[in-house]
């Protein structure tokens, strides 16, 4: 029997199993990291969109007596909280073009002002290794000019 035939018949099924187990662990870790990164981007986009939508509604429907308290704003916040899990209550303020605070006039922002809205939501990674870093706070802010 030739030397080539002896080596060709010899098989190492255990070697293939060990190589596969090492490779699959690395592959699944990278895959879960990519999934976590995608989920974080999705959550960040959701928080940013929530801030934009609430600012748009608040710029049109400021509230009759108190700034930021109207049925339209409450409905917009409730809708965004259903879309973005863990979305906190928004903080709203009136500013001018330069970002300086503007005094309210009869409980409303002046027509030349901007409504600024900031919202936050926590994000916790699903992958255990990334989850060891703790949770991240996603923050979104937006401004819209007052529409009267």
- Which helix (H) or strand (E) segment holds residue 143: the answer is strand 136-145
In a domain, 4, yes or no: no
State the pLDDT at residue 139.
95
115-136: pLDDT as tens digits = 999 999 999 888 877 777 788 8
| Structural contact between residues 146 and 56, judged by C-beta atoms closer than 8 angstroms | no
Task: Decide if 5 is inside a domain.
Answer: no
Band of residue 103 on the pLDDT scale cut at 50, 70, 90: confident
Considering the domain boundaries, does residue 53 fall inside one? yes
In this prediction, what percent of the chain has a pLDDT beyond 90?
Answer: 43
Q: What is the per-residue pLDDT for 147?
A: 84
Residue 49 lies in a domain: yes
Structural domain including 89 reads: 12-145
Q: 137: Cβ–Cβ under 8 A, 6 or more apart, which residues?
A: 120, 121, 122, 123
Q: What is the pLDDT of residue 129?
A: 73
The total number of residues written for the chain in this structure:
148
Residue 2 forms part of a structural domain: no
pTM of the model: 0.78
The residue among 33 and 142 whose pLDDT is bigger is 142
Q: How confident is the model at residue 2 (pLDDT cuts 50, 70, 90)?
A: low
Q: Is residue 6 part of a domain?
A: no
The answer to whether residue 3 is domain-embedded is no
* Number of domains, the chain: 1
The alpha carbons of the chain give a radius of gyration, in whole angstroms, of: 27
Comparing 5 with 106, the larger pLDDT belongs to 106
Per-residue pLDDT tens for 37-90? 999 999 999 999 999 999 999 888 887 667 778 889 999 999 999 999 999 999
Q: Grade residue 8 by pLDDT with cuts at 50, 70 and 90.
A: low
- Beta pairing partners, 142: 117
User: How many other CB atoms are there within 10 angstroms of residue 41's CB atom?
Assistant: 11
């Amino acid at each position: 029997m030739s030397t080539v035939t002896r080596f060709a018949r010899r098989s190492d099924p255990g070697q293939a199993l060990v190589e596969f187990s090492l490779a699959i662990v690395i592959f699944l870790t990278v895959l879960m990291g990519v999934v976590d990164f995608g989920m974080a981007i999705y959550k960040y986009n959701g928080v940013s969109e929530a801030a934009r939508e609430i600012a748009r509604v608040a710029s049109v429907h400021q509230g009759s007596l108190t700034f930021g308290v109207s049925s339209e704003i409450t409905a917009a916040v409730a809708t965004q909280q259903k879309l973005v899990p863990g979305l906190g209550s928004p903080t709203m303020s009136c500013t001018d073009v330069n970002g300086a605070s503007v005094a309210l006039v009869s409980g409303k922002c002046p027509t030349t002002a901007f409504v600024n809205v900031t919202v936050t939501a926590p994000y916790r990674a699903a992958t255990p290794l990334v989850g060891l870093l703790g949770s991240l706070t996603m923050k979104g802010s937006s401004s819209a000019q007052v529409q009267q």
